[in-house]
Amino acid sequence: MPLIRPRQSDESITGWRDDPDGRGTLGIIWSCILTLALCVWSALHLNIPPKGDTQTQYWLRVIRWVLLGILSPELVLWAAWRQWKSAKLLTVEMQKVLETNPGKSKRRHGWTQLHSFYVCMGGFVIDSVEEMDLFPNSRRLTFSPTAVLLLAKCGQLPDIDPRDIKDKSKADSLAKFIVLLQATWFLVQTIARIAQSLPISLLEVNTIGHVLCALVIYLLWWHKPREVSEPTVLHGEDINSLASFMYMSSRISGVQYRRGIRPPAWISPELENLVYVAPSDGQDTNTADIESTDDTIVDSSPPDQSSQNYRQSTSESPLGDFRTEIRRQETDHTAERKRKLGWEVDEKANDTTASRLARHRLCAQAIRDYPPIREYFSPKAPDSSDFVPQLYQFVVPNAINWPTDFLLRAVDTQIVGMVLWFVSIMYGSVHLAAWKEFFPSDVERLLWHMSAGYIAASGVWWTVAHILFYMWPWLGQWWDRFVKLRCHWSQYVVDSSFVFRIFPPWRPSSRVPNLAGKVAIVTSAAHGVGFQASRQLLSHGLSKLIFTVQSNTEGEKLGEKAQAELRCEFPKADIQFWCLDMESYASIQSFAHYAKAHLAQLDMVILNEFVIPKDFTIVPGTGHEKAVQSNYLSPMFLGLLLLPILKDRSSVGEPGRLTINNTRPWISHLLKSVGGSIFDGLKDGSLREQPIKRLSNSTWLTHLFAVELAKRVSPDDVIINLAMYNKLVFTLFADSLSVAGQTFVDAEAAKGKESHGRYLEHFHVDQVFDENAWTPWKTWVRRMLWKETMAEFSSVDDDKVLDDLKFPSEI
């Protein structure tokens, strides 16, 4: 593709043109650059900077937001809309509060939208008292709109003159009006040229998008002060007590870290692990509790105790008591995740006893003196004197410019997201309007189309996503947990590794032959993947299907339902269900004996067993852990007993087929420590709280045994392979039941001898493991597993079927 596209006969290209000759090039560029710079620079109304911010830090922050305004003005527009929405809601709520609770004295100044914007940009703060150091994690706290509302309810809202706020601002309404006039004049000029069918340059098209965003931003931020450098500092004992309660309710009171990823969901406020015990008349002091002669709340919980009373003498403290109750105790696993993500505890952030006691005393005083605070406590149970706090984000170190939960929110989160991405669609649509404009080269045309299309398409994509989150809240909750790093680590690993597998065009098609005249057995097929595999086998002409269900009343009901559904869909096929208990060797032998006696032909067997027991359970009849028994021992035993039938009674000239449901092999940490019997190691009590490791053990054992078995069975007699699909329990990008069933059908009926001793994943034949990568020790584990497993099976093989197989012990 040539860099410069040849000029067509009906096209003309104009180079540089001086202003005196007409609409000059310099005039266009200067007009666009001036308009763009003025719009972005003057439209920015940043929040109050943190305490101690240097000039360098200030200008770096301004430059970042100017670049954001130039490259993605729709994001600045969304931030302005969120702040305007929060300020508007604060104005409405504040006027309601002030009407019912004007405070200790009559207010001289009413509450306006200017006041609300001033709050939302961090206008009210409190500084930690040097001698008390109430807030060890921050020398200054900024009150959120929620906190200011609480101040008003408690009668502690300062009476601020609007003129004092305007005096802090570096831009008045006249300055904003002049910039608006310049931006409007630019739009008028462009519209006039379009009306006269005169061309406009692509630079002007790009500037139009910025100007439109700037106009809306100006309207949203019209009442917001600009370039305020110093907030209003609140003082007084009453403010200190209220701020202590607010600090303990906010995430800033949790453990602080110097670096690393810091998901807010992992930070527990100080008050989260406290329960308020309301005072009662005649309350006796428990001698086992710790008393205080003042209003101090004493933390005396030992490290190994999760609940301990903070008790105060009733005569000295009528406000009630606090008791610690760890409602969200951090596990060792969570702590390890934090360390791996780079979290480092800030030693300076640790509370001293004096600081904590002073803060607790002031918090108790606030609960006693201000009834509105008690509304933030709800009874732990009906008729209970224990009250659990409702936590809010009252204070932060400083009000950052990007919208967070610091602001008030009047609408659902998903609606807020829809607004953001709808703005992105509009901004991209302005650029898409120049889709058919002339471009000097194909490269420029392609880049313009790709950029404009991406901006608009991403907006459409995420707007649809937020609509889905709004319609199905569980999906939004999952996404919220995912982006806040609250999912299990395996969720992110598996999702990342399987992303490329979710697109059907990347999957090769499967060519399944006609199965007329064939007979198949599918275990655990009353529902789920097994049912879908059975349905697809029948859709390819399978003549007879036997599927298994659990040997109980519920299993038989499921079997009857599945049988009726399949018979209705495939009336010409012979469809039966047989009962089978995969935790009983006797049931497995009875099943195999019945199959041998009643099946004159058997071509295919799918062992569809995949169980993840939540609890560590030993199967009574066998003495093995449930995952190992259900996923490994029982399926392998059944497969061995059915091997002679598959070999001798498959269709003439064709091998029998045995497919095992499994997953990609994971390295088992347990096997690394095995020094004696493998099965004894699998009963290790350390796995009681680790269901994923128990599953990985059973998966790994199945792979090892299946490969050893495949070495001892000729593919001319029976083809043995393993089938894998994306399990929903691990990844959001799981295969549908239809695709998972198709994976089994492909492994069972489409693939040939090349799949013997290997596993299939999305219709690809892959090697189970690299023989050359196995060390002598690992080879010993594999051979040891074969010997122990065959010894186990031989001890329960009443019909001596395994003796007839005559497998060699070593290969």
Query: Hey, where are the domains in the chain?
Result: 19-122+148-231, 251-391, 412-487, 516-805
Closest by Cα among 380, 245, 234, 223 to 319: 245
Closest by Cα among 555, 607, 605 to 577: 555
Q: Give the C-alpha separation, 753 to 715, whole Å.
A: 6
In this structure, how many other beta carbons lie within 10 angstroms of the beta carbon of residue 194? 11
Query: Pairing mode, if any, of strands 656-661 and 321-325?
Result: unpaired
Q: Which helix (H) or strand (E) holds 778?
A: helix 776-796
Give the model's pLDDT for residue 405: 78
- State the Rg of the chain over Cα: 36
Q: Sign of torsion, CA 456 462 465 470? A: negative
Beta-bridge mates of residue 721: 659
Asked if residue 490 lies in contact with residue 691, where contact means CB atoms within 8 angstroms, the answer is no
Closest by Cα among 703, 693, 688, 530 to 618: 688
Q: Which of helix, strand or coil describes residue 657?
A: strand
Give the model's pLDDT for residue 384: 56
In this structure, how many other beta carbons lie within 10 angstroms of the beta carbon of residue 178? 12
Q: Which of helix, strand or coil describes residue 618?
A: strand
Closest by Cα among 603, 582, 610, 605 to 724: 610
Q: Give the C-alpha separation, 23 to 46, whole Å.
A: 37
Chain-centroid distance, C-alpha 385: 37
Tell me, yes or no, if the pTM score tops 0.75. no
| Amino acid symbol at 16 | W
Q: Which helix (H) or strand (E) holds 577?
A: strand 574-579
Q: Which of helix, strand or coil describes residue 7?
A: coil
Q: Which helix (H) or strand (E) holds 646?
A: helix 634-649
Is 3.30.70.890 the CATH classification of the domain at 516-805?
no
Give the residues of the chain that fall short of pLDDT 50. Answer: 1-9, 257-263, 265-266, 281-320, 325-334, 337-350, 486, 489-494, 496-508, 667-674, 728-734, 770, 772-773
Give the model's pLDDT for residue 458: 79
Give the model's pLDDT for residue 736: 64
Q: Give the C-alpha separation, 147 to 119, whole Å.
A: 10
